[in-house]
Structure 1
Amino acid sequence: MFYNSVLTNDMQKQQYEKFLKIVGSLSNLFSESEVPFLYYRIAEKIFCKAFEADDLSRSDVSVDVKKGDLGIGLKTFVAGNHRTLQKITEFGSSDKALYESLSLDEKIRKIALIRNERIDFTQRVHGINKSIYHCVIRDKNQFSIFEKNMNFINVEDIKDIKENKGSITFNDGVEEYSFLLSKNTLTKRFNTSNILQQFEIEILENPLDFLVDCMQNISSLAYFKPKETIFLPLYGRNHTVFSKSGLNQWNANGRRRDINEVYIPVPIDVHKKYPNFFPNRETPFNLKLPNGKTIQTKICQDNGKALMSYSNRELGQWILRDVLKLNEGELLTYDKLQVLGIDSVRIDKLNDENYEINFAKNGSYDIFISQSSGLEG
C-alpha cells in the first residue's frame, strides 16, 4: 500500500510517529478519555509534513493527500470492535435531486455510480493511478496504523439491499456499505484487524502547563500573509452552462474555433470586489493545474469576463478531455457537473505572476460571492 512501500523510508515513519505522539499527548486539552484525541485536520497536516505529500484537503475531492501518483484518503477513528462503519462520501443537499425520487434499488445504484465517478474524477484531475485509505485507529493509550484500498463499488454486484430506520444497507460481494438517509452520507465497514504498526501514547496530565513552557521559549513568531483566494463559476446565469460560451466556447458562431477553445467566466462582481486580484487584461500569468502542470493564461474579452489559456486550447484540453472526459463535439451541461459534485473553481494567488487552480464543490461560487457582499477590493 503506502506505509510499508518504496514511497516511504524509516526516517519519515519515525517522524510521523513522533508527531502523532506529540499531538496525542495533548489529548487532555479536549477530553479526559484514555483514548487519545486526534483531530482529522491535524492528522492531515502531520501526514503531509512527515511524508512530504501534497495536501489536497482544500480541493473538495475524494482523497486528502497525494504522494507521487497515489491518492490517499486519511481517516482517524476509535477502534471500537475493529469493524466500524466510517464515512467515505458525503453528498450535498443539491445531490439529492439525482437520486431521491428513484426506487430503492435504483437509488443505491445511482449513489454508488456517483461515488465511483467522483473517485475517478479526482484521479483524473490530480494525475492519480490508485487510491487507498490510511487510517490512524485510536484505542486506549495507543494509536495504530491501518491501510486499505479505496475500491470502486461493484455496481453490477450490489445485493442484499435493505432499508432500515434511517439507513439503507447493502454490499457488493466485497465490501459492506450503509447509506445514512438523514445525513446523505455513505459509510463503509472497516475491518481493522490487520494492523501495520502500533505505538503507545503518553497523555499529559496538564498539557496547558507544557504549552506555557514551550511558549516561553519562543522569542518571536513569524507571520506570513495568506494566499489570496477567489472562486469562479463554471456556468453562466441561472446555473446554466451555455451551449456557445464559457466551457462550450468551442461551439460558438463566427470564426472557426479550436475544438478545445474554452474560457472560465469571470463575473463582473469578482472584478468589482477584487479589482487587483488578476493582472491587467492581456497580461499573461502562470496557472498551476492540480496535476502539477503549469500553463500560461490571461484575462480577456470585454470587461475581462473570461479566463483563458494563452494558446486558446490548453485549458480546454485539460478540462474537457483530460478531466471531464467529454468527446470532441460533446456539450458540457450543468447536470454533468452536478454528478461530479463540482460547479466552481478556486483560484489561489501566490504573487502577481503565479496562480493555482483547483475544482470546488457545488455552490462554492455562490457562497463566496454572498460572503463577499459589501466588500471592496
Structure 2
Amino acid sequence: MFAKIFDVEDLTRRDSAFDAVAKFEDERVGIGLKTWIHTRDLTYQKVAEFNKVAPIEFSPLIEEKEYDELIYKISELRNERIKLDKRQYNTNHEIYHNITRDNNQMNVVETNYDLIQLDSLKLLSQTSKTYVFSDGLNTYKYYASKSVLLKEFEASPDKVLEKIPIIQFDDPFELLKMIELPVQAQEEVQDTIYLPLYSDVQMKVEEKSGFNAWNAAPKNKGSNILRPEYEAYIPIPKWIHHTFPKFFGFDALDRRERNIASSFTLHLPDDRKFKAIVTQDSGKSLQTNPQKILGKWILHDVLGLQPRELLTMEHLMKLGVDSLKLTKLDNTNFKIELADTYAFENWKIEIEDKIRESGSRMPTLRPHLLEEE
C-alpha cells in the first residue's frame, strides 16, 4: 500500500535491507517500513534474519560463550548488508517509516536508519536464547533460536509526527464483502534466470576468470601490460542456454546467431542502464563493452572491492549474496539485481524438479559432480 500510494519502488519481495526506495529529484532514499499495534511506547521489531550464516558464524561463538564477539559479528554483518544495499540502490539517505495502530487512529513515526556503532557495543543481558545489547544509539535483541535481530523502536507522544483518525471494523470480512474489484487480465509472467557470481563447475570464484578476469594473463603473450582494472564478465553455465534456448532473444549456443545478435540493455537497481552482449564459446559470457563497466559496477560500486582486489566466496558469504537475478523485460531489455546466498543453487533445484515432472530429458545441471566422478 505504501509503495502504491507514494509511487516508490517496492523491495519487499527481495532480500534487501530496505522495503522501498523513493526518488525525490536527485535524492534516493532507502526506506524501512514497520507497523505494530500501539500497546506501549517502546517495542522490539525484527530488522534482520541470519538463517544462513548463523550456524557458521554465530553458533560457535555461543558455544564458546564469546558473547562480546557474538554481538560484534551480528552487528558487523548487519552493517555490511545495509551498506551493500546503499551501494546497490545508490541511496543518499535512509529512514524507518513506522505506523503504529492505536484506538481509532494510526500514528506516523519516523526514525533514523542507523548503522550499528561497532566501537560502542555493550552487552546488556543474555540468556541461552536471547542477547540484548546497545551501541549507545539504539538497543538490539538477538534471538538465537530464530536467528533474527530485533531493534527497539520508540513511539512515545513526542516522537509521533502525525495522528490520523481511522475507522476500525470489528469484522474485517464484512469490509472485504463491500469491495468489488474489476476483472483484470492475467499479468504476464516475466522470464527470470539466475547467474552465479562463482564458477558453476568449480563451485568457487575463479581467480583468473569471471569476475576476476582482470587478474588473467596479459592478452598479448609475453607482454607485461596488465589487463584493465575491473575487467570482468558474468559466467553463464551452458545448461542454462539448453534449458532456456531463447531467453536472450536468440540461440546463444549457435555461433552465427550469437555473432549477428545485437546488444541488449541491462537495467541496474539504481536506474542506470548499460549495453551488454552474450559472447565467447557456447555463449558462456555476459559482458559489457568495455568489460570494466560491468566489473566496476558489481565489484566496486556494489560489492565494495578496491581496484585489483580479488573477489572470493568468503567476501560473498559475508555480504549474504552469491548470484545475480536476471529478469527479461523484452528481448532487448533485462533487469539485473543481486540475489541472496544459495539463490542460484535453490533455483537450479527448482528447475530440476520441473524437468523431472515434465518427463523431459534431464540436461547436465551439475557439471561439478560429473568432474568429480
Alignment TM class, shorter chain as reference: 0.7 to 0.9
For 1:10-60, what per-residue CA distance to the aligned partner results, in whole angstroms no more than 9, with x for missing partners?
A: xxxxxxxxxxxxxxxxxxxxxxxxxxxxxxxxxxxx111211112222331
> What SS is found at the alignment partner of 1:350?
strand
Give the percent of matched residue pairs that are identical in Structure 1 and Structure 2: 35
Task: Find the aligned partners of 1:211 and 1:100 in 2 and give their Cα distance.
Answer: 45
Shift of 1:238: 4.9
Counterpart of 2:228 (choices 232, 250, 258) is 258
Q: Which amino acid aligns with 2:70?
A: K
Matched, 1:292 2:271: yes
Task: Find the aligned partners of 1:140 and 1:238 in 2 and give their Cα distance.
Answer: 58
Task: Find the aligned partners of 1:326 and 1:276 in 2 and give their Cα distance.
Answer: 34
Q: 1:315 to 1:203 in 2, by over 3 A?
A: same
| Large movers: runs of 4+ above 6 Å | none
CA contact (8 A) 1:95 1:341 kept: no
Task: Find the aligned partners of 1:211 and 1:258 in 2 and give their Cα distance.
Answer: 60
Counterpart of 1:195 (choices 146, 154, 160) is 160
> What SS is found at the alignment partner of 1:371?
helix
Partner of 1:156: 119
1:188-267, aligned counterparts within 5 Å? 188-193=151-156, 194-204=159-169, 208=173, 211-212=176-177, 214-215=179-180, 218=182, 220-236=183-199, 237-255=201-219, 257-267=227-237
Counterpart of 2:45 (choices 81, 86, 89) is 86
> What SS is found at the alignment partner of 2:13?
helix
For 1:275-295, what per-residue CA distance to the aligned partner results, in whole angstroms no more than 9, with x for missing partners?
A: 221233353110011111000
CA contact (8 A) 2:230 2:308 kept: no
CA contact (8 A) 1:273 1:375 kept: no
Structure 1 unaligned regions, length at least 5? 1-45
Partner of 1:147: 110
Q: TM-score when scaled to structure 2?
A: 0.83
For 1:237-262, what per-residue CA distance to the aligned partner results, in whole angstroms no more than 9, with x for missing partners?
A: 35311101111111122505322211
Task: Find the aligned partners of 1:158 and 1:210 in 2 and give their Cα distance.
Answer: 47
Matched, 1:62 2:17: yes
Structure 2 unaligned regions, length at least 5? 220-225, 251-257, 361-373
Partner of 2:294: 315
Partner of 2:135: 172
Counterpart of 2:243 (choices 273, 293, 308) is 273
Q: Which amino acid aligns with 2:276?
A: T
Partner of 2:60: 101
> What SS is found at the alignment partner of 1:147?
strand
CA contact (8 A) 1:245 1:262 kept: yes
> What SS is found at the alignment partner of 1:278?
coil
Higher mean C-alpha deviation, range 324-333 or range 350-359: 324-333
CA contact (8 A) 1:105 1:161 kept: no
CA contact (8 A) 1:59 1:359 kept: no
Partner of 2:370: none
Q: What is the root-mean-square deviation of aligned Cα atoms in Å?
A: 2.0
Q: TM-score when scaled to structure 1?
A: 0.82
> What SS is found at the alignment partner of 1:347?
strand
Shift of 1:191: 1.0
> What SS is found at the alignment partner of 2:291?
coil
Matched, 1:116 2:95: no
